Structure 1
Amino acid sequence: MVPETWIYATWLVKAFLYLGTAFFIGGAFCYFLLGPYVEIKKIIIKYITVGAVLGLISSGLSFFILIGSFANTGLSGMWNSNYITILINTPTGHAHVIRSISFLLLLLFMLVKLNSGISQISKFEGTIFALLITPIIFSFSQLGHVTNLSLFAQILLSTHVFAMSLWMGSLYPLWKTSRIIQGLPLKERMHLFGKIAAFIVGVLLLCGVTIALLLLKNFNALLNTPYGHGLIIKLLFVLSILLLAAFNKWYFTPRLQDPKFANQLGYAILFEMLLGLAILLTTSYITTVVGIE
């Protein structure tokens, strides 16, 4: 296999890792946001479980793809015991293992929850969620393009990933909510989400801009490097989704007592989900295929 194959495989796996993380974190957030609605809570628990599955598979694959790229002997190189032994004893290997174990424990927990038929998540269980999600979020700063930067930059990236996951991962539950709840209850939930999302987006943008300034030493790097070009494309997608989110908040939400506008909001959220997917694909591309020069 040519080296580019491993790079593109890493890109796709990282995109699925972003999705799994977003499903889990955004789903957990919406679970508490939409607490009074049992039917939606059951859907969200399944959604969170899917996120844990995606996270576990993509975490494991990312480790073995890295092994395969080192061995460079085709697919069989992914199971090269010598490289596995070497990598698993490095900080990179530790980050992969800890992330995979965290996703595995989250998945086991969610499977038990699904089998029990109980949709209620206690405060104690929520604390377990938080403890297991923390190393997953921090792992992005240990395996990404800020690994060699300061602890401050790593905390910024971890916060950025967390805020992104809250927002992007909330879109599907909100879309399902627009299909199930109608009238004033829908308006109240969407209004509450809009208020919280305004803060989330502020944190997301602040961290994102600061990280970009730390990575790009000057304005020419933004205009004249592949990473800068990818970042510009990502910013255009981000601007588009921000404009759409603002339109949803200021136009649709105040009118949600009318079923017609609730239906239109559903389509707007679907389009927002597509833009979110484009952002995740672009982010994973510039951090794996392109990278900082």
Structure 2
Amino acid sequence: MSYIFDILQVAGKTLFYIGFSAFAGAVYAPLLIGSGTNKKDVQQILIVAEKVILTGLLGVLLWFFAKTGAMAAMGLAGMIDPLMLNIMWSTAVGDAALMRVLGLLGALVLSMTYRHTTVTTQYWLIPAGVTLIMLLAASIVRIGHISDLPFGYQAVLVAHVIGVAWWLGSVPVLWRLATRNDSGHVKQIMQRFAKHAAMPVGVIVLSGATMAYTLFNSFDAVYQTRYGQLLLLKLALVGCILLIAAHHKWFLVPELKASLSRTRLTRSIGFEMLFMTAVFIITAALTTVLSP
């Protein structure tokens, strides 16, 4: 029965990661699109993001109830046992769940408020969104392997999480914009994204390397443990995403002159989204069923 709770926890975390990233990508959308378009473009992205955020909210609830069921050891009935739920709610897991629920609900309120306001400027969405993104990222360091480490390491993880959420959350936004705009506009958007991505990707790589160094005592532990092997698979997938991004920058984007070139780009972004989903699932597994 325990493996069922493991699967449910991984599924719940994966949905949360996707919802979190969807919101991060939507918050970034005004800067990505630029001043050449109107607020309606961002509104359409937010409408899609809201649906994904709702899925992420359901994922948080699934994760919390599955975590409770695993601790109760009473079968599926343990997921809704009042006593066990009360105990779990009083732990760090309950704190993290509360932070995630508040963060995602805040994301929904912010998105819907923005879509219905008469304010014409797009950029007020960003500071409010960043605040919620930081809350969601902080919920991840509230539990897990990093929670017992000093504050500096936790800050590194927060930077890593925010960078990954922004990067992977931007990919579906790029795909949507690439399928709904002419080649010239898509080329401008992709070039703008390449400029914006340089520093965050650097932060992701450096912070990820720092965390890996703190979690493993030796290089042998990386490939001799299941955690290390799964981490290597995750790194390989991230490497594939980076190669696809480089292919976009150096080959596909410069060739954007006709609809055929745009089709090739959208197909490539679609593959990037598949790798991204796999990264979310592996990350959920690493932080749920395995330990360094």
Equivalence for 1:174:
174
User: What is the CA-CA distance between 1:226 and the residue it aligns to?
Assistant: 0.4
Q: CA RMSD in A?
A: 2.0
Distance 2:32 2:81 in 1: 46
User: What is the CA-CA distance between 1:160 and the residue it aligns to?
Assistant: 1.1
User: What is the CA-CA distance between 1:6 and the residue it aligns to?
Assistant: 0.9
Aligned residues: 290
Equivalence for 1:76:
77
Distance 1:280 1:119 in 2: 35
Q: Secondary structure of 1:290's partner?
A: coil
Equivalence for 2:42:
41
Equivalence for 1:284:
284
Distance 2:74 2:5 in 1: 11
Which residues in structure 2 correspond to 1:136-175 (within 5 Å)? 136-175=136-175
Letter in 1 for 2:10: W
Q: Percent identity?
A: 29
Deviations 1:1-27 (A, max 9, x none): x11211121111111111111111012
Distance 1:156 1:5 in 2: 32
Equivalence for 1:243:
243
Q: Secondary structure of 2:287's partner?
A: helix
Distance 1:18 1:119 in 2: 30
- Could you say which structure has the higher helix fraction? 1
Matched, 1:195 2:234: no
Distance 1:121 1:3 in 2: 51
User: What is the CA-CA distance between 1:119 and the residue it aligns to?
Assistant: 9.0
Letter in 1 for 2:209: V
Mind listing any 5+ residue stretches in structure 2 that lack a counterpart? none
Mind listing any 5+ residue stretches in structure 1 that lack a counterpart? none
Q: 1:121 to 1:58 in 2, by over 3 A?
A: farther
Range moving further from structure 2, 121-130 or 15-24: 121-130
Q: Secondary structure of 1:74's partner?
A: coil
Q: 1:227 to 1:120 in 2, by over 3 A?
A: farther
Deviations 1:51-106 (A, max 9, x none): 32122111222222111112122222122221222222233322211221221232
User: What is the CA-CA distance between 1:239 and the residue it aligns to?
Assistant: 1.2
Q: 1:113 to 1:83 in 2, by over 3 A?
A: same
Equivalence for 2:95:
94
Distance 1:165 1:101 in 2: 18
Q: Is the 8 A contact 1:24 1:47 kept in 2?
A: no
Matched, 1:15 2:32: no
Distance 2:244 2:123 in 1: 34
TM-score, normalised to structure 2's length? Answer: 0.92
User: What is the CA-CA distance between 1:32 and the residue it aligns to?
Assistant: 2.9
